[in-house]
Chain A
Amino acid sequence: MRYHTPESFEDASAIAAGAEGVTRYLAGGTDILVQMRSDIVTPDDLIDIKHIVGVKEIARSDDGGWRIGAAVAGAELGEHDGVGADWPGVVEAMELVGSTQVQGRATLTGNLCNASPAADSVPAMIAAGATVSVTGPDGPRKIAVEDVPTGPGQISLVRGEVVTAVNLPARGPGGGDAYLRFTPRTEMDIAVVGCGISLTRDGDTITSARVALGAVAPTALLVEAAAAALVGGTLDDGALDALAAAAEAACNPIDDKRGTIRFRTHVAGVLARRVAKIAYDRAGGAK
Chain B
Amino acid sequence: MSHISNPLPILDGAEKVTGRLRYLDDMQFEGMAHAQLVFSTLAHGRIIALDTARAMAVPGVLAVFHHGNTPDNRYNSTIWFEEQEAPEDERMFPQVVRHVGDRVAAVVAETPRIARRAAGLIRVEYDILPAVIDPALALDGSAGPDGLAEEVRFDYGDTDRAFEAADLIVDTTVSTPRTHHGAIENHSCVAIPQPDGRILLHSPCQSVHAVQVVCARALGVPASQVRAVMSPIGGSFGGKAEPVLEPLCAHFALALNRPVGLSFDRGETFTATRTRSGARGRVRTAVTGDGRILARQTDVVSDIGAYCTGGHFLPGSMSQRLCRLYDVESQRFRGRAALTNTVPSGAYRGYGSPQIHAISEINLDLTARRLGMDPVAFRLKNLIDPYAVDPVTGGDIGNARIRECAQEGAARFGWQQRRDRDRSTGRLRRGIGMACATHINGCFPGFHEATTATLAVRNDGRLDLTCALHDLGCGSNTVLAQIIAEVLQVAPADVVFSAVDTDICDYDLGTRASRMTYICGEAVRRTSESLKAVLRSTASLEFNCETTDLCFDSGQVICAGQGREMTYSELAAHAARRHLFLTATETYRATANPGSFAAHFAEVEVDTLTGVARVVDYLAAHDLGRSINRQLVSGQIHGGIQMGIGFGLLEDIGLDPDTGKMKGDRFSRYHMVNAPEMPKVEIVLVERSEPTGPFGAKAVGELATIPVAPAIVNAVNDALNTELTCLPLAPERIAEAAR
Q: Which residues of A contact B (CB under 8 A)?
A: 39, 182, 184-190, 256-260, 263, 266-267, 270
Could you tell me if B674 and A182 are in contact, using CB atoms closer than 8 angstroms? no
Within the complex, the shortest CB–CB distance from A274 to chain B, in Å, comes to 9
Which of B113, B610, B654, B673 is within 8 Å of A185, CB to CB? B673
* Contact A185 B735, CB 8 Å, known A256-B663, A257-B654, A270-B610: no
Q: In the complex the two chains form, what is the Cα distance from A259 to B609 in whole Å? A: 15
Q: When A and B form their complex, which 5 residue pairs have the shortest distance between CB atoms, in order from nearest?
A: A186-B676, A257-B663, A257-B669, A263-B732, A270-B609
* Contact A184 B731, CB 8 Å, known A257-B654, A257-B669: yes
- Interface status of B650 (Cβ within 8 A of chain A): yes
- Interface status of B417 (Cβ within 8 A of chain A): no
Could you tell me if B732 and A185 are in contact, using CB atoms closer than 8 angstroms? no
Q: In the complex the two chains form, what is the Cα distance from A39 to B736 in whole Å? A: 40
- Interface status of B671 (Cβ within 8 A of chain A): yes
Could you tell me if A266 and B654 are in contact, using CB atoms closer than 8 angstroms? no
Residues in B with CB closer than 8 Å to A259 are 732
CB nearest neighbor in A for B267: A38
Residues in A with CB closer than 8 Å to B291 are none
Could you tell me if A263 and B731 are in contact, using CB atoms closer than 8 angstroms? yes
* Contact A260 B610, CB 8 Å, known A39-B116, A185-B673, A188-B674: no
CB nearest neighbor in B for A186: B676
CB nearest neighbor in A for B645: A185
Per-residue A-contact encoding for B723-739, CB less than 8 Å = 1, 0 else: 00000001110011000
- Interface status of B432 (Cβ within 8 A of chain A): no
How many residues belonging to B are interface residues under a CB distance threshold of 8 Å?
A: 25
* Contact A267 B671, CB 8 Å, known A39-B116, A184-B730, A186-B677: no
- Interface status of B604 (Cβ within 8 A of chain A): no
Residues in A with CB closer than 8 Å to B730 are 184
Which of A39, A187, A257 is within 8 Å of B676, CB to CB? A187
Residues in A with CB closer than 8 Å to B609 are 270
* Contact A258 B116, CB 8 Å, known A185-B676, A186-B676, A270-B610: no
- Interface status of B675 (Cβ within 8 A of chain A): yes
Residues in A with CB closer than 8 Å to B670 are 257
CB nearest neighbor in B for A260: B732
Q: In the complex the two chains form, what is the Cα distance from A110 to B152 in whole Å? A: 57
- Interface status of B433 (Cβ within 8 A of chain A): no
Residues in A with CB closer than 8 Å to B663 are 256-257
Could you tell me if A267 and B610 are in contact, using CB atoms closer than 8 angstroms? yes
7 contacts across the A-B interface (CB closer than 8 A)? A39-B116, A184-B671, A187-B676, A188-B674, A189-B671, A257-B664, A270-B609
CB nearest neighbor in B for A264: B732
- Interface status of B544 (Cβ within 8 A of chain A): no
Most buried by B among A185, A188, A259: A185
B673-696 contacts to A, CB under 8 A, are: 673-677
Q: In the complex the two chains form, what is the Cα distance from A270 to B654 in whole Å? A: 26
Residues in A with CB closer than 8 Å to B671 are 184-185, 189
Q: In the complex the two chains form, what is the Cα distance from A256 to B677 in whole Å? A: 23
Residues in B with CB closer than 8 Å to A267 are 610, 735
- Interface status of B558 (Cβ within 8 A of chain A): no
Q: Which residues of B contact A (CB under 8 A)?
A: 113, 116-117, 609-612, 650, 654, 663-664, 668-671, 673-677, 730-732, 735-736
Within the complex, the shortest CB–CB distance from A98 to chain B, in Å, comes to 12
CB nearest neighbor in A for B663: A257
* Contact A263 B669, CB 8 Å, known A184-B612, A184-B730: no
* Contact A190 B650, CB 8 Å, known A185-B677, A263-B731, A263-B732: no
Residues in A with CB closer than 8 Å to B664 are 257
Residues in A with CB closer than 8 Å to B732 are 259-260, 263
Q: In the complex the two chains form, what is the Cα distance from A133 to B612 in whole Å? A: 39
Within the complex, the shortest CB–CB distance from A83 to chain B, in Å, comes to 25
CB nearest neighbor in B for A190: B668
CB nearest neighbor in A for B113: A39
Q: In the complex the two chains form, what is the Cα distance from A85 to B731 in whole Å? A: 33
Within the complex, the shortest CB–CB distance from B343 to chain A, in Å, comes to 15
CB nearest neighbor in A for B669: A257
Could you tell me if B674 and A187 are in contact, using CB atoms closer than 8 angstroms? yes
Which of B117, B654, B675 is within 8 Å of A187, CB to CB? B675
Residues in B with CB closer than 8 Å to A184 are 612, 650, 671, 730-731
Residues in B with CB closer than 8 Å to A263 are 611, 731-732, 735-736
Within the complex, the shortest CB–CB distance from A267 to chain B, in Å, comes to 6
Residues in B with CB closer than 8 Å to A182 are 610, 731
Could you tell me if B650 and A185 are in contact, using CB atoms closer than 8 angstroms? yes
Within the complex, the shortest CB–CB distance from B504 to chain A, in Å, comes to 38
Q: In the complex the two chains form, what is the Cα distance from A80 to B730 in whole Å? A: 37
Q: In the complex the two chains form, what is the Cα distance from A97 to B671 in whole Å? A: 17
Within the complex, the shortest CB–CB distance from B641 to chain A, in Å, comes to 15
Q: In the complex the two chains form, what is the Cα distance from A259 to B650 in whole Å? A: 12
Q: In the complex the two chains form, what is the Cα distance from A185 to B668 in whole Å? A: 11
Q: In the complex the two chains form, what is the Cα distance from A186 to B649 in whole Å? A: 14
Within the complex, the shortest CB–CB distance from B14 to chain A, in Å, comes to 22
Residues in A with CB closer than 8 Å to B736 are 263
Could you tell me if A185 and B669 are in contact, using CB atoms closer than 8 angstroms? no
Within the complex, the shortest CB–CB distance from A122 to chain B, in Å, comes to 18
Could you tell me if B735 and A258 are in contact, using CB atoms closer than 8 angstroms? no
CB nearest neighbor in B for A38: B265
CB nearest neighbor in A for B675: A187
Within the complex, the shortest CB–CB distance from A268 to chain B, in Å, comes to 11
Within the complex, the shortest CB–CB distance from A273 to chain B, in Å, comes to 9
Q: In the complex the two chains form, what is the Cα distance from A275 to B712 in whole Å? A: 29
Given A184-B650, A258-B669, A263-B736, 10 new contacts (CB under 8 A): A182-B731, A184-B612, A185-B677, A186-B676, A256-B669, A257-B670, A260-B732, A263-B735, A270-B609, A270-B610
Q: In the complex the two chains form, what is the Cα distance from A190 to B669 in whole Å? A: 9
Residues in A with CB closer than 8 Å to B731 are 182, 184, 263
Within the complex, the shortest CB–CB distance from A195 to chain B, in Å, comes to 12
Q: In the complex the two chains form, what is the Cα distance from A181 to B650 in whole Å? A: 18
Within the complex, the shortest CB–CB distance from B26 to chain A, in Å, comes to 16
Q: In the complex the two chains form, what is the Cα distance from A252 to B528 in whole Å? A: 69
CB nearest neighbor in A for B609: A270
Most buried by A among B663, B664, B731: B731
Q: In the complex the two chains form, what is the Cα distance from A39 to B674 in whole Å? A: 28
CB nearest neighbor in A for B117: A39
CB nearest neighbor in B for A269: B609
Most buried by B among A189, A257, A260: A257
Q: In the complex the two chains form, what is the Cα distance from A189 to B731 in whole Å? A: 14
Q: In the complex the two chains form, what is the Cα distance from A39 to B116 in whole Å? A: 10
CB nearest neighbor in B for A118: B668
Residues in A with CB closer than 8 Å to B116 are 39
CB nearest neighbor in B for A182: B610
Q: In the complex the two chains form, what is the Cα distance from A39 to B111 in whole Å? A: 14
Within the complex, the shortest CB–CB distance from A69 to chain B, in Å, comes to 29
